[in-house]
Amino acid sequence: MQQGYSNKEACRVVGIDERTGQKWRNGRKPTGKQRKALLPLGVVAAEPSGPSRYLREADRIHIADRLREKATVRAIAAELGRSPSTISREIRRNRHPGSGAYRPHAAQARADARRPRPRTGKIAQNHELRDFIQDHLGRKWSPEQICQALRDTFPDRPEMHVVHETVYQALYVQGRGELRRELARALRSGRARRVPHRQAAARRPRFATPMVMISERPAEAGDRAVPGHWEGDLIIGKDGKSAIGTLVERATRYAMLLHLPGDHSAETVRDALVSTVRSLPTHLKRSLTWDQGSEMAAHGSFTIATNVPVYFCDPASPWQRGSNENTNGLLRQYFPKGTDLAVHSPEHLDAVAAELNGRPRKTLGWETPAERLHKLLTA
């Protein structure tokens, strides 16, 4: 107030009720938690930079200011980069019961008080609940079945209701001791510890050589105006033990088949690709697009051997290799699913490719892929 603020505004900045501010002005000093929550004048608590999972004090002050300006919840959420339900829940939690005003500093104090860990779990606090869960775990019930049984047995007692994740936490998290550790062996997994799942941001690289994604492929490959851009894949035989490699040129739909008699490991596929690509004219060796199958783990050495860059499709996006997917469907007339593909000789594969390239295609104006390729080569 010595800086020119009114009593109401000064109380809002400090985060206290107006009556409390009047008492302080009249000589009453803050005690207990109030003393710990206050900072000396001019001292501002530094907040960590970067995105946060939780709302910060600056976010709460922004909410309060925008609410006084009659902004909508969705507008505030968009400004803070949060979900509208997050902002709505924050306002509902921390409105003053009398005036209905949102108090940001009091909300921050409550959030700080809720945050300390570890907490005593619900199962540890309730012996009846703990005994019920332990009894049913011993009878080989799953945590989800137990939680449903709790709701059916005690419909009017919310203190006896838990979710199945609470049971798992009580079994797996060390130091809680809410349930006997030997009960974890009664779970169907039989594990006494949780197996962590990697987060998407912490995934290991797919291949040793970094992938170049299809989004970086030249535009000339996308519009099919220039020949020499290929799409590739494998068709798999019985029990996944045999395979045939397929290559389709994007501009002409011209197909070539790779003979893979022994296996379809990364080295075998690489060697077959190198041998086939080296037989092509230079102006037909511009790029190769493949999915993220493990057979292309050696794509780096393939590029070094042929000077042909490899571009990878996004996961679960077969339409990004539409020509190749269509050709694979046509090839199933010759190589049905569930058959052994290793019995076919290189000569037979060449004959099938020649027959396929001799079929007229509607997308080519009823020309054959062989005719269209011949035109491009002679042009």
**Each residue's pLDDT tens digit, 311-367:** 999 988 999 999 999 999 999 999 999 999 999 999 999 999 999 999 999 999 999
pLDDT of residue 1: 80
Beta-carbon contacts of 373 under 8 Å, excluding residues fewer than 6 positions away, are 227, 249, 252, 254, 357
Instruction: Report the CATH number of the 214-378 domain.
Output: 3.30.420.10
The rounded distance, in Å, linking the Cα atoms of 34 and 188 is 51
* Residue in the structure block whose two tokens are 């000093």: 29
CA-wise closest residue to 247 among 378, 350, 358: 350
The rounded distance, in Å, linking the Cα atoms of 73 and 273 is 57
- DSSP assignment string, 272-314: HHHHHHHTS-GGG-SEEEE-S-GGGTTHHHHHHHH---EEEPP
Amino acid at 137: L
CA-wise closest residue to 324 among 311, 308, 341: 311
**Each residue's pLDDT tens digit, 154-208:** 999 999 999 998 888 887 765 455 676 667 667 767 666 666 665 555 567 778 8
Q: 141, exposed or middle or buried, with CB in 10 Å at 0-12, 13-18, 19+? A: middle
CA-wise closest residue to 232 among 302, 154, 168, 305: 302
The rounded distance, in Å, linking the Cα atoms of 156 and 248 is 66
pLDDT of residue 114: 79
Report the 10 Å Cβ neighbour count for 326.
15
Residue 214 near residue 314 (C-beta atoms within 8 A):
yes
pLDDT of residue 29: 55
Per-residue pLDDT of the chain (379 residues; tens, 9 = 90+): 877 778 888 888 888 888 888 878 766 555 555 555 554 454 444 455 556 778 999 999 999 999 999 999 999 999 999 999 999 999 998 888 888 889 899 899 988 887 776 677 888 888 999 899 988 888 888 889 999 999 999 999 999 999 998 888 887 765 455 676 667 667 767 666 666 665 555 567 778 889 999 999 988 888 888 899 999 999 999 999 999 999 999 999 999 999 998 899 999 999 999 999 999 998 899 999 999 999 999 999 999 999 999 999 998 899 999 999 999 999 999 999 999 999 999 999 999 999 999 999 999 999 999 999 998 888 7
- Residue ranges, CATH 3.30.420.10, the chain: 214-378
Amino acid at 365: G
Structure tokens at 268: 């075998």
Rounded to two decimals, what is the model's pTM?
A: 0.50
Kindly report the CA angle at 170 between 165 and 174, in degrees rounded to 5? 125
Rounded to 10 degrees, the C-alpha dihedral 262/263/267/270 comes to: 90
pLDDT of residue 259: 95
* Residue in the structure block whose two tokens are 């699913």: 337
